[in-house]
């Protein structure tokens, strides 16, 4: 699972995590933000940063690496103030550099602004060109700078109005945390594709990509920020505004499958329970006669436990994860993937030798990791491997802030189920249906499930979609 994942798995790559506190001159704010980001580390491991408003200025520190590597006691001591904005970032090849680390901090006529963004704009390229033609100079290659640029240009003394205008110009997925000199602002795009929650600790109000960060710092989850909502926290308390655009509530379904931490709650639903239920439904859709159920740790574990319970087959740890592989292997380079897989997981021979095994994973993207794991299981002496996947075949790329390969690399987009079974070398294969997945999560809600159906909640500009379908390795920015 993405929780603590530090080696590239054959999966969609995590996005980014955003976090911010309005604590009204709380001296411990940078430390709480540090712990909040620590809890969101699974959403991005390549760079991170914290900006703090002192009431006069915005001070910040950011760097390449994990939260624990970038911040020290001394650095946190220098970040004193009452409003914070933090970010953890997963970037893509060519984009992993310090200038793209967030929060972005900009100065403009109405003050300073720190901005942390999770998501991706689908019209970023045309907006960037247009703004450059009008004289804007960009210092980074992240979409977030376009949002910061638009807000600062459109601000005529009322930042909420500027944000509303900017939201009518940008298209795509964004969960944003903004800190100004006196305000903390949380924003979700009108489709609500990326999550953002609101929490409370004493008198402090907090935004976080996921509620697991609230648990870590002893805060309580109040509610999710709504699609299209702008929540402003300042000395007058909390005010909520909505952009005047159609709102669809299309939360990314992959949050439930893989991205979010299992102790997070989104839309009032616990991620672990949803994954476990997905495993139960997977068994009802694709039963297997087997001696033991094992998972690809940690991503498939919750669903594997659900499957095992529904099947009445014991669950065991058949694959053991090395949790202490250094971050050398977080570099998103194709050449490192194989080394990463080999170092990451070992087979517990005593558990699987001579057994019929059900192997459960959350999703299959290229199929590379599973192929290698199946080979390892065969070498360890399994008699049968029945692969069960707790989501449908991934058949389309994502444009909304998730690093996905091109369509031609997606095994589910190019091969029939029988061909996938053959390619992966398993005795049987069963994917959870989209209906089954939605039943596990909650039928009453809407989702973006475009990577399974191709039905995108936002029109994708033709040039972008051509790129994604043709390029060898398409990466989106976050």
Q: Does 441 bind ligand SF4 (CB under 6 A)?
A: no
What residue has token string 């095992």? 308
Closest approach, Cβ 378 to ligand SF4, in A, equals 31
Q: Does 258 bind ligand SF4 (CB under 6 A)?
A: no
Taking CB under 6 A as the criterion, which residues in 8-27 touch ligand SF4?
A: 12
Q: Which stretch binds ligand SF4 (CB under 6 A): 288-296, 343-351, 412-420, 444-452?
A: 444-452
Q: Which stretch binds ligand SF4 (CB under 6 A): 41-49, 82-90, 249-257, 383-391?
A: 249-257
Closest approach, Cβ 145 to ligand SF4, in A, equals 22
Q: Which stretch binds ligand SF4 (CB under 6 A): 86-94, 322-330, 446-454, 462-470?
A: 446-454
Q: Does 449 bind ligand SF4 (CB under 6 A)?
A: yes
Q: Which is nearer to ligand SF4, 76 or 253 (CB)?
A: 253
Closest approach, Cβ 380 to ligand SF4, in A, equals 33
Peptide bond into 295 cis (omega under 30): no
Give kind and range of the element (H or E) at residue 61: strand 58-64
DSSP string over 327-370: GGGGS--HHHHHHHHHHHEEE-HHHHTT-EEEEEES--SSSHHH
CA 202 to chain centre: 28
Contact code string over 54-93 relative to ligand SF4, x by CB under 6 A? ----------------------------------------
Kindly tell me which residue out of 22, 174, 307, 400 binds ligand SF4, with binding defined by CB under 6 A.
Answer: 400
Closest approach, Cβ 448 to ligand SF4, in A, equals 3
Q: Which stretch binds ligand SF4 (CB under 6 A): 87-95, 228-236, 361-369, 449-457?
A: 449-457
342-363 as b/e, with b when 16 or more CB fall inside 10 Å? Answer: eebbebeeebbeebbbbbbbbb
Q: Give the max Cα distance, the chain.
A: 72
Q: Does 253 bind ligand SF4 (CB under 6 A)?
A: yes
Closest approach, Cβ 259 to ligand SF4, in A, equals 8
Residues in contact with ligand SF4, counted by CB under 6 A, come to a total of 12
In the three-class reduction of DSSP (H, G, I as helix; E, B as strand; rest coil), residue 216 is classed as helix
Task: Name the E strands within 180-322.
Answer: 184-188, 197-201, 204-208, 220-224, 229-234, 237-242, 251-252, 265-266, 269-270, 292-295, 319-321
Q: Which is nearer to ligand SF4, 220 or 455 (CB)?
A: 455
Kindly tell me which residue out of 217, 377, 448, 476 binds ligand SF4, with binding defined by CB under 6 A.
Answer: 448
What residue has token string 């009452």? 82
Closest approach, Cβ 171 to ligand SF4, in A, equals 14
Catalytic site residue 48? no
Residue 379 CB: number of other CB atoms within 10 A? 10
Q: Which stretch binds ligand SF4 (CB under 6 A): 129-137, 345-353, 369-377, 396-404?
A: 396-404
Contact code string over 177-206 relative to ligand SF4, x by CB under 6 A? ----------------x-------------
Q: Which is nearer to ligand SF4, 105 or 441 (CB)?
A: 441
Kindly tell me which residue out of 85, 147, 373, 398 binds ligand SF4, with binding defined by CB under 6 A.
Answer: 398
Q: Does 403 bind ligand SF4 (CB under 6 A)?
A: no
Kindly tell me which residue out of 175, 221, 288, 450 binds ligand SF4, with binding defined by CB under 6 A.
Answer: 450
Contact code string over 280-319 relative to ligand SF4, x by CB under 6 A? ----------------------------------------
CA distances from 278 to 10, 73, 309 (A): 20, 42, 12
Spatial neighbors of 26 by CB under 8 A, at least 6 apart, are 32, 82, 204
Kindly tell me which residue out of 304, 402, 424, 432 binds ligand SF4, with binding defined by CB under 6 A.
Answer: 402
Phi, psi of 206, rounded to the nearest 5 degrees: -135, 140
Closest approach, Cβ 75 to ligand SF4, in A, equals 34
Reference 52, options 96, 112, 108, 8; nearest CA is 112
- Taking 3-state DSSP, the helix, strand and coil percentages for the chain, each rounded to the nearest 5, stand at 35, 25, 40
R_g over Cα of the chain: 22
CA distance 230 to 110: 19
In the three-class reduction of DSSP (H, G, I as helix; E, B as strand; rest coil), residue 393 is classed as coil
Q: Which is nearer to ligand SF4, 359 or 365 (CB)?
A: 365
Reference 353, options 440, 277, 411, 291; nearest CA is 291
Catalytic residues: 16
* List of residues contacting ligand SF4 (CB under 6 A): 12, 193, 252-254, 398, 400, 402, 448-451
């Amino acid at each position: 699972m993405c929780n603590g994942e530090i080696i590239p798995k054959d999966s969609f790559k995590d996005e980014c995590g955003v976090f911010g506190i309005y604590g009204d001159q709380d001296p411990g704010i940078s430390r709480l933000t540090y712990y909040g980001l620590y809890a969101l580390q699974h959403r991005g491991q390549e760079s991170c940063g914290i900006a703090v408003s002192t009431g006069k200025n915005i001070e910040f520190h950011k760097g390449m690496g994990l939260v624990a590597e970038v911040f020290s006691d001394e650095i946190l001591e220098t970040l004193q103030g009452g409003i914070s904005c933090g970010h953890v970032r997963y970037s893509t090849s060519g984009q992993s550099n310090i200038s793209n680390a967030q929060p972005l901090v900009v100065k403009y006529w109405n003050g300073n602004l720190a901005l942390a963004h999770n998501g991706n704009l689908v019209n970023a390229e045309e907006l960037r060109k247009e703004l450059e033609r009008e004289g804007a100079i960009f210092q980074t290659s992240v979409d977030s700078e376009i949002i910061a640029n638009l807000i600062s240009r459109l601000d005529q003394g009322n930042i909420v109005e500027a944000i509303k205008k900017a939201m009518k110009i940008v298209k795509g997925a964004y969960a944003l945390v903004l800190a100004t000199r006196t305000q903390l602002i949380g924003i979700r795009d009108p489709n609500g594709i990326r999550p953002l929650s609101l929490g409370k600790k004493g008198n402090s109000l907090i935004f976080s990509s996921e509620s697991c960060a609230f648990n870590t710092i002893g805060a309580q989850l109040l509610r999710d920020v709504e699609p299209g909502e702008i929540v402003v926290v300042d000395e007058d308390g909390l005010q909520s505004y909505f952009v005047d655009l159609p709102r669809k509530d299309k939360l990314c379904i992959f949050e439930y499958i893989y991205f979010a931490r299992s102790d997070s709650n989104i839309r009032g639903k616990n991620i672990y329970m949803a994954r476990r239920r997905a495993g139960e439904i997977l068994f009802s859709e694709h039963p297997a006669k087997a001696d033991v159920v094992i998972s690809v740790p940690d991503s498939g574990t919750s669903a594997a436990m659900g499957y095992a319970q529904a099947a009445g087959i014991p669950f065991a740890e058949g694959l053991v994860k090395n949790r202490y592989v250094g971050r050398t292997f977080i570099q998103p380079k194709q050449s490192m993937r194989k080394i990463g897989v080999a170092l990451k997981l070992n087979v517990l021979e005593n558990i699987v030798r001579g057994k019929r095994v059900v192997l459960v994973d959350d999703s299959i993207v290229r199929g590379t990791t599973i192929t290698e794991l199946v080979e390892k299981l065969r070498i360890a002496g399994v008699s049968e491997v029945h692969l069960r996947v707790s989501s449908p075949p991934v058949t389309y790329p994502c444009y909304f802030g998730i690093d996905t390969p091109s369509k031609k690399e997606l095994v589910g987009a190019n091969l029939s189920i029988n061909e996938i079974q053959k390619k992966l070398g398993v005795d049987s294969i069963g994917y959870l249906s989209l209906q089954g997945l939605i039943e596990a999560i909650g039928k009453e809600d809407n989702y973006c499930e475009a990577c399974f159906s191709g039905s995108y909640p936002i029109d994708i500009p033709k040039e972008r979609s051509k790129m994604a379908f043709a390029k060898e390795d398409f990466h989106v920015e976050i």
